[in-house]
Structure 1
Amino acid sequence: MNLLALIELLLPEGTLPEIQLENGRVDWKEAIGSLRNEEDLFALVHSLLKPYLHTVSVLIGIADVNGVISHWWHKTDGLKLLPLPAKVSEHFIQDNIAGVLEMYAPDRRSALQTTLFNSGVREMLMVPLRNHTSNFGFLCILAKQHNTFPQVLQIAVKRHAGLLSAATLKLMLLEALPQWLQEEDMGDMQGQELMMYNDLLPAKLVSGIALRPVIQQVRQVAPTDATVLLTGETGTGKELFAEAIHLASERQHKSFVKVNCAALPPQLIESELFGHEKGAFTGAINRRIGKFEMAEGGTLFLDEIGELPLDMQAKLLRVIQEKEIERIGGSDTIPVNVRIIAATNRTLEDEVQAGRFRPDLYYRLYVFPIHLPALRERREDIPLLLQHFARNAALKYGKQVRAIAPASVMALTDYSWPGNIREMEHMVERAVILNEAPQITIDVPQGHKSYQKDHSPSMPLLTLAETERQTIIRALRYANGRIRGPQGAADLLDIKPTTLEARMKKLGIVKEHIVR
């Protein structure tokens, strides 16, 4: 099920078909399809309300049935809100909040109304955010004067209540289940979705900033028949990307055949690739079809191509050039229609210079090179990958794992990951097996240095305030500047968002200035 289908299932029946935008009737999926973050959400609200107001200040609260706030989202025009409460009156998540609330004085019964009044708010237009069974929050339009909201605006807000609920719900789901964001970001590849499911490109390999150029290259080359050379350290997912390229190509309904050139004895490689006739050599009691023939019409993946012996490199070069093979012991040439994808963790340019790899074969393979970055080069993906592998391992072993300890996430984000994604998968699987608690702890392997190099005994001691400041800055960087929500900086530091905001203010930290 895709994300928009889930949203449609969660919202009350009949809510969404009634959506009407100022430029005419628009399908709700089109209206919120490109929504990705808070800025997109506020842009949508702005587009709905701007025809009726000169300035638009919006406050959105996401709360449980007891009024406990899990998210505050706000964007104000000419207002500076004071710190918002962690809990609101249950009245704010009931249906009867819909309408205009005027404020002439602080209200001791409502921490939210008191905070807003002291922030300069004098009038609110409120609408509940509702799913199929209950309200999950509320949206307020804030004004500094009384009698700001005309009747036509109130009608418009009521008319768009379903759309506002759908948009907010989508943002909540993207934060809670970030793999959907990656699925949508992958887009459509000329009618073929880049199929990266479960074990294939785990969690879509996440598609952080460092990986986006790779995804774009895959999109460009997959529909063609060009030879692809995948390079990168061991464990970066070269085989998974090769299969993804095949599945996104016109050859997807044909075979994807894998050959590990490093795992085959030299005397068997030729037979493995090209096949042999009966009686071609001692032990050849039957005809054998080679990998090239098995991959006819499809894709042949030559992993660890840098390990191929020189004599086999010459034979492989001929096959690539002539597009035909001969079985060992045979006399007939057999035409083959195969796309070649090769991979190596070696630097083939160095291998050519050392005389271990043929330059003519190198240039035949170097048609469309794609370099896969190491995991330490895309640290923004590490928390999501950890969650993905923990969830898979929990399902595999029947464990009730709900989260990874924030301290472990921070430590593992600093870890150098010499084995890359393969190492992470096995490390998380071990932790799930060994832990019985819903929140598991994963220790950084002993004997491996952290990526950060600021732990040397020769480093000068820092003041407590400076240590706290650096810790907060690190957490904000890991969370891409986000304070609240799952994997936000407050969650990583295991403190309340309001406490973190107070410490940031005291220490002079502005999150926008430290986001990478």
Structure 2
Amino acid sequence: MKGVLLTKVGHMELFGLLEWLLPKGHTGNQPDHDAVKGIKSEAELMAFIQSVLRPYLHTISILIGIADADGMVAFWWLHADNTFLFPALPERIPAAYFSNKGSNILELDAPDRRDAFQTTLFKNGVKEALIQPLLYQQKNLGFLCLLSDTKDTITASVQTIVNESAGLFAAACLQVLLLQLAEEYRQKMSGALPLVVHNTGMIGGAALQPALHLLSQVAPTSATVLLTGETGTGKELFAAAIHQASPRRHRQMVKVNCAALPAQLIESELFGHEKGAFTGALERRIGKFELADKGTLFLDEIGELPLELQAKLLRAIQEKEIERLGGNHTIKVDVRIIAATNRDLEREIAAGRFREDLYYRLYVFPIMLPPLRERKDDIPLLLQHFAANAALRYGKEIKGIHPACIPALLAYSWPGNIRELENVVERAVIAATDPYIMIIPPQRRQVAASSDTSPPRTASLAESERIAIIQALRQCNGKIRGPQGAAAMLDIKPTTLEARMKKLGIVKEHVLRRG
């Protein structure tokens, strides 16, 4: 995972931070830190820290907190390579961590009720941590943490190089922070949304907090979890987060899509088979239950499982043992089950398509994921995250999301939920020719949901274009030019839009008419 901005929980003034560069009464130049001059982003910052530590430490996770001397955290930056997933981090850490200029090594054997930061690290699988204050011009900028999921990883040589390099690390952090805040200020003045990579799968405001709270409760246990919600609401990401935050994270999380396999193959897929068990079984095959032993088995679309296999699955879950097809002995397995479905299983039971006893075996700890239309406050965060990821993936120089398109994105119902939003953002990034991208909701669904009469499937290209232009004009209150005009929303030149309006016979009355 790239270095990411996890959470912004406070505020830092740009001009206040400039005092670190030239403190009051200081007129000379700053020390020449050639090594950090080219660092402009969190990803480059994390790569720099890794390059310094690589001769001493091969596998590290890096957590940086930008904080004041009292321990109030303004930003968290994380590089963890998926070793640790933090659903939330505290807003304050004990000021005692800043009392020494040198680094401090913690061995985490148990949670500490007096220290929310240490408890958070422990609950998310950290066994050992090195904490180094970041000081610049004798002022506190924050702290650097090296995290390990095993003990005795952080050696004396690592601690020495961290102490010796702390000044460079602090200068690099300050440089990235100043560039970020300057860009944030510019984005704020323009109204554009900046691109920010958030911790994947954990993006959520008030509507998602109940589900995140349940996740934090159940993850440390081995309880069976049933994830429900519409297609595209992120059930697989939630399952991965539960596994990563559980004691089983060092073993496999095995995934099975019950809707993607023919009924005759699902039994072999789940339980395996012996050589010669059926025509074509040329060798023994290990099933998903055995592969997930001591780990987690994620059964996606469990509502699609054929009735005849539901009884065998129930027995495997109850007895914690399986039998391969064609085999004559049972195999003990220790598997944590996470199931997911977009179906109403109680209705499936009433219709005779799902076993009631299996339902109650799965319904140990249910978590309902809300649809995106109930999470409108999360849409801007998701837009930033998906656009940043897509820009990195496709090498596009994207700086932000044009503010003119936000109202339409918030008004759209997103029937495909987060998956649909991600696809729309990815298309916009690929097609972008401007550093501030326009993201338009799917026109066909938008037209169908509007008060206009939807064109038939055989409608001409001109008629479809006419409807799209009228919608854009209505969303922009008839404005054509400028950053919040319909031309910018449609990503075409104003003169081109005016020419097409004339050709299609679109006049002011079309924009004002709502009937």
TM-score range (shorter-chain normalised) is 0.5 to 0.7
Distance 1:287 1:181 in 2: 40
- Residue number among 241, 244, 248 corresponding to 1:247 in the alignment: 244
1:191 aligns to 2:188 (yes or no): no
Q: 1:205–1:413: structure 2 CA closer, same or farther, 3 Å change rule?
A: farther
State the SS of the aligned residue for 1:218.
helix
Q: Which residue number in structure 2 is paired with residue 209 of structure 1?
A: 206
Equivalent position amino acid for 1:279 in 2: G
Summarize the alignment of residues 429-444 of structure 1 with structure 2, pairs less than 5 Å apart: 429-444=426-441
How much has 1:447 moved relative to structure 2? 2.5
How much has 1:278 moved relative to structure 2? 0.6
Aligned-residue CA RMSD (Å): 3.7
How much has 1:233 moved relative to structure 2? 0.6
1:297 aligns to 2:202 (yes or no): no
1:259 aligns to 2:256 (yes or no): yes
How much has 1:322 moved relative to structure 2? 1.1
Summarize the alignment of residues 330-479 of structure 1 with structure 2, pairs less than 5 Å apart: 330-449=327-446
Equivalent position amino acid for 1:277 in 2: E
Distance 1:423 1:393 in 2: 14
Q: 1:189–1:323: structure 2 CA closer, same or farther, 3 Å change rule?
A: farther
> Which segments of 5 or more consecutive residues in structure 1 lack a partner in the other structure?
5-33, 42-61, 64-92, 94-127, 137-162, 458-470, 472-516
String of CA shifts for 1:48-68, please: whole Å, max 9, x gaps.
xxxxxxxxxxxxxx46xxxxx
Equivalent position amino acid for 2:296 in 1: T
Distance 1:339 1:317 in 2: 13
Contact 1:255–1:299 (CA<8 Å) still a contact in 2?
yes
1:130 aligns to 2:130 (yes or no): no
How much has 1:2 moved relative to structure 2? 8.4
Contact 2:198–2:385 (CA<8 Å) still a contact in 1?
no
Q: How high is the TM-score relative to the length of structure 2?
A: 0.54
Q: Which residue number in structure 1 is paired with residue 172 of structure 2?
A: none
Quote the sequence identity (%): 59
Q: Which residue number in structure 1 is paired with residue 223 of structure 2?
A: 226
> Which segments of 5 or more consecutive residues in structure 2 lack a partner in the other structure?
25-65, 78-84, 92-116, 127-196, 454-474, 476-515
Q: Which residue number in structure 2 is paired with residue 280 of structure 1?
A: 277
State the SS of the aligned residue for 2:227.
strand
Contact 1:399–1:436 (CA<8 Å) still a contact in 2?
no
Distance 1:267 1:185 in 2: 50
Contact 1:210–1:378 (CA<8 Å) still a contact in 2?
yes
Contact 1:235–1:419 (CA<8 Å) still a contact in 2?
yes
Q: How high is the TM-score relative to the length of structure 1?
A: 0.54
How much has 1:217 moved relative to structure 2? 0.3
String of CA shifts for 1:406-461, please: whole Å, max 9, x gaps.
121221112111111111111111101111100010112113249998x789xxxx
Equivalent position amino acid for 1:411 in 2: A
Q: Which residue number in structure 2 is paired with residue 36 of structure 1?
A: 9
Distance 1:230 1:189 in 2: 24
Contact 2:5–2:198 (CA<8 Å) still a contact in 1?
no
Q: 1:341–1:3: structure 2 CA closer, same or farther, 3 Å change rule?
A: closer
How much has 1:398 moved relative to structure 2? 1.0
**Large movers: runs of 4+ above 6 Å:** 1-4, 163-169, 450-453
How much has 1:374 moved relative to structure 2? 0.7
Contact 2:271–2:322 (CA<8 Å) still a contact in 1?
yes
Q: 1:201–1:280: structure 2 CA closer, same or farther, 3 Å change rule?
A: farther
Contact 1:293–1:336 (CA<8 Å) still a contact in 2?
yes
Distance 1:450 1:206 in 2: 29
How much has 1:393 moved relative to structure 2? 0.8
Contact 2:257–2:299 (CA<8 Å) still a contact in 1?
yes
String of CA shifts for 1:465-493, please: whole Å, max 9, x gaps.
xxxxxx9xxxxxxxxxxxxxxxxxxxxxx
State the SS of the aligned residue for 2:255.
strand
Q: Which residue number in structure 2 is paired with residue 481 of structure 1?
A: none
Distance 1:456 1:339 in 2: 50
Q: 1:202–1:307: structure 2 CA closer, same or farther, 3 Å change rule?
A: farther
How much has 1:334 moved relative to structure 2? 0.6
State the SS of the aligned residue for 1:448.
helix
Distance 2:17 2:121 in 1: 37
Number of aligned residues: 310
Summarize the alignment of residues 141-220 of structure 1 with structure 2, pairs less than 5 Å apart: 171=74, 183-184=88-89, 191-193=122-124, 203-220=200-217
1:320 aligns to 2:317 (yes or no): yes
Distance 2:235 2:90 in 1: 21
Summarize the alignment of residues 492-511 of structure 1 with structure 2, pairs less than 5 Å apart: none
How much has 1:372 moved relative to structure 2? 0.4
